[in-house]
Amino acid sequence: MKIVILDGAGANPGDASWAPLERFGEVTAYDYTAKDQVVERSKGAEICITNKTVFDADTLRNLPDLKYIGVLATGYNVVDLGECKKLGITVTNVPEYATFATAQMTIALLLELASRPGMHSSDVMDGGWCRSPQFSYFLAPLTELVGKNMLIFGFGKIGRRVAAIASALGMKVSAVPHRAEEGSAVIDGYEIPFTTLDEGIKTADVISVHCPLTPETRELINKDRLASMKKGAFFINCARGPVVDEKAVREALDSGLLGGYGADVVTVEPMLPENPLLGAPNCVITPHIAWAAKETRVRLIEAAADNLDAFLKGSPVNVVN
């Protein structure tokens, strides 16, 4: 069986192994595949593994042997699911593999906005402390998080993990579940009350989003919602870039309405030179690495192999079409 991995460098830049997939057939792994190379490299393959390489309708029609596409990610918008269904191609994803790492990155971004360790370390390494007349100095306001109100939008496994960590830091956490609910949930012994986004946003000192990108969540955080936020609040986005209106976020940062923005995602990735967030004040952006801890990537490859195993045994799991 011929198995082709189109863009393996993300999940395995050389520090992991494709062995979990190699047990099913002959594996050819490419670090990156350009759009005009997809058909050529995938021809004759029954199994294709992709992360961000696009399988549109034209590409799929030119791959008559293809029976299965395994997406090495939770998001699967790179694959035309409707065309796959017509052609009898099964598509699977890997849900929830990065729960712990994404929650960790969320808190890391929050702590950078609150305590500024990266900013101060860079200044120290540049000689700033050597030049200081005092034993201590700070370059920006620092924020103590204990007692602060945190609102989490999207309360799946990642949102719940973030809630537990934030609660352990002494924050007062409330949540907006994916589906409207009343009441509360108990996470690791902490009671997390439910609210609505428009109600919770008014009093939140920190807002963190953990929802999929859908027509309903696109630009969920826009100029109007930013205007209703508590002045100086922090906003964290480890979900998807288009969940926010980046132009409106830049304006809110410039005016001081938004106290800080931390994100691991942007609307177009890789980031475009004209992205309005480049150079924004009180803004911390990482290049979509919340999922990239080695332990997480190893788990991802193993889960993708489990998906393929289930498909080959006739009982596919995590099917998205």
Q: Is the pTM above the cut of 0.85?
A: yes
Active-site residue, 288 included:
yes
* Single-letter amino acid, residue 305: A
Per-residue model confidence (pLDDT) at position 190:
97
Per-residue model confidence (pLDDT) at position 75:
86
CATH of 99-285, one of 1.10.645.10, 3.40.50.720, 3.90.1150.10, 3.40.50.970: 3.40.50.720
Arithmetic mean of pLDDT, 223-230 = 96
pLDDT band at 212 (very low <50, low <70, confident <90, very high): confident
Catalytic residue from among 160, 288, 297, 299: 288
Compute the half-sphere exposure of residue 44: CA atoms within 13 Å on the CB side of its CA. 7
Span(s) in the chain for CATH 3.40.50.720: 2-97+294-312, 99-285
d(CA 72, CA 214): 20
Per-residue model confidence (pLDDT) at position 178:
80
d(CA 280, CA 272): 14
Arithmetic mean of pLDDT, 64-81 = 95
Arithmetic mean of pLDDT, 165-170 = 98
Q: Cis (ω within 30 of 0) for the bond into 270?
A: yes
Report in angstroms the alpha-carbon separations of 6 from 91, 224, 229, 246, 313.
15, 41, 43, 30, 24
Active-site residue, 40 included:
no
Give pLDDT tens digits for 174-199: 999 987 778 999 999 999 999 999 99
pLDDT of residue 170 exceeding 80:
yes
Active-site residue, 178 included:
no
Give pLDDT tens digits for 119-134: 999 999 999 999 999 9
d(CA 227, CA 119): 28
Give pLDDT tens digits for 288-308: 999 999 999 999 999 999 999
Catalytic residue from among 22, 181, 191, 269: 269
Angle between helices 99-115 and 294-312 (to 10 degrees): 150
Which residue, 45, 11, 53, is CA-closest to 28? 45
CATH number, span 2-97+294-312? 3.40.50.720
Catalytic residue from among 160, 161, 240, 299: 240
Rounded to 5°, the CA angle 99-103-109 comes to 150
Q: What is the DSSP letter of 264?
A: S
d(CA 111, CA 224): 26
pLDDT band at 87 (very low <50, low <70, confident <90, very high): very high
Strand 190-193 and strand 184-187: the pairing is antiparallel
